[in-house]
Amino acid sequence: MPLLNSRFAQLDLIRQPDQPEEPLQAFDAADEYLLSHVAEQGLNPASRVLVLNDSFGALAASLASHATVISSSDSFLALQGLEKNLMRNGQPFDAVPVIPANESFTGAFDWVLIRVPKTLALLEEQLIRLQGHLAPGAQVVAAAMVKHLPRAAGELLEQYVGPVQASLAVKKARLLLATPELKGVQASPYPTRYLLDEPVIELVNHANVFCREGLDIGTRAFLPHLPTNLGSARVADLGCGNGVLAIASALANPQAHYTLVDESFMAMQSARENWQTALGAREVTVRAADGLAGQEADSLDVVLCNPPFHQQQVVGDFLAWRMFQQARDALVVGGALYIVGNRHLGYHSKLAKLFRGVEKMATTPKFVVLKARK
């Protein structure tokens, strides 16, 4: 893989999660353009730099030795990538403090460097949280590949920061330079809420939660086919989002024990709040993680999963395949993985390579619900 070269550092970077013979690199031309711009402007060693949505630490690791750098992201995998890439390039794993996206900023920043996220609601929430945290003369610069840069990103920067100037495109990347101006405090429209009709639950959805305006159609197809009569089974909701699958399952299985896992910190916050609303003080484990990577082998009886088919802007089934492998390793012999997926993705044949039996529970014109037994 090529090295990331800038006037700040030469870095050997890896993506997360690890993938043998990784076909994609851990940085792109937008990272290079942003670092080049900072170098041209000059970076005072006394500056406080906030980096938002750094994919795998390309920006923060490049600047860590040149200023006080803080990184914030909604991705557990991105922050894990930052730590690994710092160590991979001879720096302490904690050289850059990290702030999960669901936590508040502290102090004032001289620079704010933003990789425009796929979900613009996340960008909006981050810009709202920046209110009161820009030092006099602060420079706010967002970057993206042109094909992933919607007009609305510039409109959000203008609304919450100030006038925006777009750069020329370089290697199909573009910068948006926002000039901060004094604005009145603007309230956040997040979290959003919607009511589920069966079971009857009001669900809270923080800014970066998948389908935060309403139940996604895959989950809607899955809900009627969740397993019942689980007794005291140990159940995991893998990639839980707002927690709706686990909560619906828990309401139908009052003695079962639940673990909710997602790589999004905002998903975790949503799931935790929704569990407390629906189930009160009932015991649960909710954690941001790399799927079930930290789960003990043979420690689960049931895994529920509505797997993703993309990581940031990259579409593919690598994450889903990895989640299926993690589920197999964590399940006891005789335990089962229940999933919903688009019919065209062919999950049945993939699961058949990992599990001793795969059963079709239900189909719709678009989705299939499968049960795979270890």
Residues 57-104: tens digit of each pLDDT: 999 999 999 999 999 999 999 999 999 999 999 999 999 999 999 999
Cα(49)–Cα(35) distance, rounded to whole angstroms? 12
Both 257 and 355 in a single domain? yes
Residue % of the chain over a pLDDT of 70: 97
Q: Are residues 174 and 296 in the same domain?
A: no
Domain that holds residue 296: 192-373
Q: Say how many domains are in the chain.
A: 2
Last residue of a domain, one of 178, 207, 233: 178
End-to-end Cα spacing for the chain: 37
Q: What is the pLDDT of residues 321-338, one digit of tens each?
A: 889 999 999 999 999 999
The pLDDT of 31-36, averaged and rounded, is: 98
One domain, residues 232 and 357: yes
Report d(CA 364, CA 374) in Å as an integer. 25
- Is 4 within 8 Å of 59 (Cβ atoms)? no
Residue 228 has pLDDT above 50, yes or no: yes
Q: What is the per-residue DSSP string for 82-102?
A: HHHHHHHTTS-TTSS-EEETT
Q: Is the pLDDT of residue 311 over 50?
A: no
Identify whether residues 209 and 173 lie together within a single domain.
no
**What stretch of H or E contains 333?**
strand 331-342
Q: Which of 146, 178, 210 is the last residue of a domain?
A: 178
In a domain, 185, yes or no: no
- Distance between CA atoms of 71 and 79, rounded to whole angstroms? 8
Q: Could you tell me if 335 and 363 lie in one domain?
A: yes
**ω into residue 97 within 30 of 0, thus cis?**
no
Let me know if residue 186 belongs to a domain.
no
Please tell me whether residues 160 and 95 are part of one structural domain: yes
pLDDT at 190 over 80: yes
pLDDT at 219 over 60: yes
Q: Give the pLDDT band (50/70/90) at residue 117.
A: very high
For CA atoms 262, 268, 273, 279, the dihedral sign is positive
Q: According to the model, what pLDDT value does residue 309 have?
A: 61
Lowest model confidence (mean pLDDT) among 144-153, 188-197, 209-218, 295-304: 209-218
Select the more confidently predicted residue: 16 or 244. 244
Shared-domain flag, residues 17 and 153 = yes
Domain identity same for 114 and 197: no
| Per-residue pLDDT, 316 | 47
Residues 19 and 43 in one domain: yes
Q: Specify the CATH number for the domain of residue 174.
A: 3.40.50.150
Average pLDDT value for the chain: 94
- Angle between helix axes 151-160 and 120-129 (nearest 10 degrees) is 20
Do 166 and 212 sit in the same domain of this protein? no
Q: Which residues contact 319 (CB under 8 A, 6 or more apart)?
A: 17, 307, 308, 309, 310, 311
In a domain, 228, yes or no: yes
